[in-house]
Chain A
Amino acid sequence: MKGRKRFGRKQHDKKIIILLALIPFVGITVFYLFPIFYSIFVSLQKNRGGNTYWLLMKSEAFQLAMQNTLLTIIAMVPTLLVISMGLAFVAEAGLKQKSRWWSSTLVLHMIPFIIPSTIIAFVVNSLFDSLWIQSDKVFWILFVIYIWKNYGYCMLILLGGIRNIPQETLEAARVDGAGKARILFRIMLPQMKTFISFCIVMEIVAVFKLFREGYLLCGDYPNIAVYFIQNFINNSLYAMSFEKISAMAVVLIVVFSVIIYALYHSELRGESYEA
């Protein structure tokens, strides 16, 4: 009797959990998956001027936005990766030797990451001449903001990667007489692969987030050097050209799916979920 009751409770719980689980998955479907398919549909609809994708590709504003965004990613992401990687190794060495400086400041490197963009834009605005902000030099301001804002987060991710390397592997390599560079490039970096891939993806996401500072600093009409994809999106939104927006969304989603898959495919296949 008692056994049956127990069994009944479990089944009852299972039903409730599965019902509750519908909420997140329905929400994600409604707000993420369905809109993606919907925008594919919208973008393929017949347009007055011809194929939407063709119109988009021909648009000079779109070309400028794509080019600027791509160049920004190429310039900023590797720089940030190298800086945060170096910092992670130095931090690890410092923490190992119980350095007071590192144990007390480690988490403080995260503070720039949490400062709202509007405050950063406000301070930059009050420090720099508005002519300067309207010139193409504003790119370098954004560059510095990008590095300063994100190095702490990336450093902590990569530090996690260094700590994830089994100590025995390193010891074994040292005993075998491997040099420092060899240990770094042949053992440590390959072992940190997942962390580095994740970091690169997050840094690309952060380039897109840099629009917040860019927009709050330069407004709707920035210098063409910092005319990014998001500016193009805003302008298309004002013009209410939904076909264009959908086509753009499809292009970007395909591009990013490919990038993420290339960097991160083993995890996406769900192997990590099995473990």
Chain B
Amino acid sequence: MKHKNSNRGVSFLIFQLIAILGILATGVFLLYVIWQSVGTDGTVTAEHYLELLLKTPEYWVFFWNSFKISLLILGGTLAVALIGAFVLYRYRFRGSNLLFGLLVLLMLMPYQVLMLPQLLMIHKFQLFNHLAGVILPNIFSSFGIVLLLQYMKKIPYESVEAAQVDGAGDILIFGKVVLPLIKEGVITLAILNLVDTWNLVEQPQNILTDSRLYPLSISFSKYETSSIEALSAGNLIFLLPIILLFFMGKDYLVNGISNTVVKK
């Protein structure tokens, strides 16, 4: 044991310190958000929450918008990713390699870059100032397809073959063999997707002009009546769902994230 310690050196210590610092910063940040929302003058009060929830009807509208956008994108993304990945997993066709390469390229491209051509399309389709203009492009992102395909490739071929010999068609194979085995992938995708869509900034900001359609992620400058403390309460309520989701799925995330890497 002693031998090991002496071997570790300074760099080891520094990074251990950075790790502690990172956790500490996160803890302080979260405590600060909580502290701001329950009263900054030393007394704990729920007053700001009441002010926010009772006297700020905009907050409810923005929250509902966020909720609607995130859930619709999640549902669409899961459907698109499951179908797309399953087809690439089961069928090889002319150009399927090229298609996969294209999907990876799209997935790795910064979204803001792809958003520009999309804005032209959205303009053409007259989807400006319409929630569909925000939701539809997000549903068809290639990230989900590529991620789930990574998980499907790990399924032992024998289990698919066995189902095939038993006469199962593709739909049965998908439901009974593939889907249960990629559960971790689906959960990882759902969490990463919700984290991203709960935090949409560029798209609503560029596509929506009517502030009644805004999600919470961009609307914090759009309140007319609230105090800073009420806004802090709003921040905490906004943060809560995503933190809860994170803790519910955290056991899947460690593996899930290293599986987002497309590898040989």
Which residues of A pack against B, CB within 8 Å? 6, 9-10, 12-14, 16-18, 20-21, 23-25, 27-28, 30-36, 38-39, 42, 83, 86-87, 89-91, 93, 105-119, 121-123, 126, 148, 151-153, 156-157, 159-161, 163-164, 194-195, 198, 201-202, 204-205, 207-209, 211-212, 215-216, 219, 229-230, 233-234, 237, 242, 245-246, 248-249, 252-253, 256-257, 260-261, 264, 266-275
Contact = CB atoms under 8 A, between A and B. Distances in A.
Contact of A252 (B103, B113, B254): B113
Contacts of A30: 121, 140
Given A35-B117, A234-B206, A268-B104, A118 B26 contact: no
Interface in B100-142: 100-106, 108-114, 116-121, 123, 136-137, 139-140, 142
Contact of A267 (B113, B119, B262): B262
Contact of A270 (B84, B100, B145, B167): B100
Interface stretch (B41-49, B50-58, B216-224): B216-224
A14 B170 contact: yes
> Which 6 A-B pairs give the minimum distances between C-beta atoms?
A160-B258, A270-B97, A35-B117, A13-B169, A27-B140, A249-B116
A90 B253 CA distance: 19
A172 B208 CA distance: 59
Given A86-B18, A246-B117, A267-B262, A204 B110 contact: yes
11 contacts: A12-B169, A31-B140, A110-B246, A115-B242, A122-B220, A160-B255, A211-B202, A212-B201, A215-B205, A229-B112, A256-B110
A23 B263 contact: no
B6 to A, nearest CB: 13
B18 to A, nearest CB: 6
B230 interface: no
B23 A109 contact: yes
Contacts of B108: 201-202, 205, 256, 260, 264
Given A117-B199, A119-B238, A157 B258 contact: yes
A interface, by DSSP: helix, strand, loop or mixed?
helix
A256 B108 CA distance: 9
Contacts of A151: 22
Contacts of A31: 118, 121, 136-137, 140
A249 B116 CA distance: 6
B231 interface: yes
Nearest to A5: B167
B169 A267 contact: no
A245 B118 contact: no
Interface in B14-34: 14-16, 18-19, 22-23, 25-26, 29-30, 32-33
B23 to A, nearest CB: 6
Contact of B19 (A23, A87, A261, A273): A87
Given A253-B113, A269-B101, A160 B259 contact: yes
Given A17-B87, A17-B170, A20-B83, A208 B111 contact: yes
Contacts of A164: 258, 263
Given A111-B243, A246-B120, 10 more contacts: A34-B121, A86-B11, A109-B23, A116-B239, A122-B220, A123-B36, A161-B261, A216-B221, A267-B101, A272-B264
Given A28-B140, A31-B140, A156 B264 contact: no
Contacts of A264: 104, 108, 262
B198 interface: yes
Contacts of A90: 12, 15-16, 19
Contact of B87 (A18, A87, A242): A18
B250 interface: yes
A121 B119 CA distance: 26
Contact of A118 (B83, B104, B172, B217): B217
B228 interface: yes
A153 to B, nearest CB: 6
Contacts of B220: 118, 121-122, 216
A113 B196 CA distance: 10
A232 B246 CA distance: 34
A36 B117 contact: yes
B120 A39 contact: yes
